[in-house]
């Protein structure tokens, strides 16, 4: 008897309507029109079994959110799905090529190649440039 009163109460109906509005606005804002359709169809089918609108709305919300997973949030972090060996390969490749110029290209004026093949400025010229900058800054 108490359950029947609760299901027929206006408060439950208004709570269900508020939840319905929040969910439908959420589906539309995300662009998930199939969830709106699933919710509408589930509510319509539920209406054939019971004439209680609050129960119909709650059943539609249950079917759309729980059974079909329309309420799930998708995470945008794509690197989480790659395995560790792929991550290590990417890091190793970036470290291997970082700072290196192509062997066929020439170094800029005042630079030479070190043992690793990287173009570096000559030490004397670097000190001269630093001294000029220091004098101009004073």
User: What would the DSSP string read from start to end of 68-120?
Assistant: S-TTPPPP--GGGGS-HHHHHHHHHHHHHHTTPPPTTSPPPTTEEE-TTS-EE
Tell whether 14 and 62 lie within a shared domain: yes
Domain count, the chain: 2
- Segment 27-55 mean pLDDT: 92
What is the domain range of residue 50? 10-67
Strand ranges (E), the chain? 111-113, 119-121
Residue 109 lies in a domain: yes
pTM for this structure? 0.51
pLDDT band at 83, cuts 50/70/90? low
pLDDT band at 107, cuts 50/70/90? confident
Tell whether 63 and 110 lie within a shared domain: no
User: How does strand 119-121 pair with strand 111-113?
Assistant: antiparallel
- Segment 15-32 mean pLDDT: 92
Say how many C-beta atoms besides its own lie within 10 A of residue 117's C-beta. Answer: 10
Tell whether 16 and 62 lie within a shared domain: yes
Residue 17 lies in a domain: yes
Q: What is the mean pLDDT of the chain?
A: 78
């Amino acid at each position: 008897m108490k359950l029947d009163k609760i299901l027929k109460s206006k408060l439950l109906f208004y709570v269900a309507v508020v939840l319905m509005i929040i969910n439908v606005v959420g589906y539309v804002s995300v662009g998930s029109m199939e969830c709106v359709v699933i919710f509408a169809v589930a509510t319509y089918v539920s209406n054939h079994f019971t004439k209680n609108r609050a129960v119909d709305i709650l059943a539609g919300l249950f079917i759309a959110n729980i059974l079909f997973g329309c309420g799930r949030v998708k995470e945008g972090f794509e690197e989480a799905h790659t395995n560790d060996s792929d991550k290590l390969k990417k890091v190793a490749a970036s470290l291997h090529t970082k700072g290196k110029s192509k062997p066929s290209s020439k170094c800029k004026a005042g630079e030479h190649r070190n043992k690793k093949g990287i173009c570096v400025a000559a030490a004397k010229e670097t000190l001269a440039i630093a001294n000029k900058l220091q004098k101009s800054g004073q």
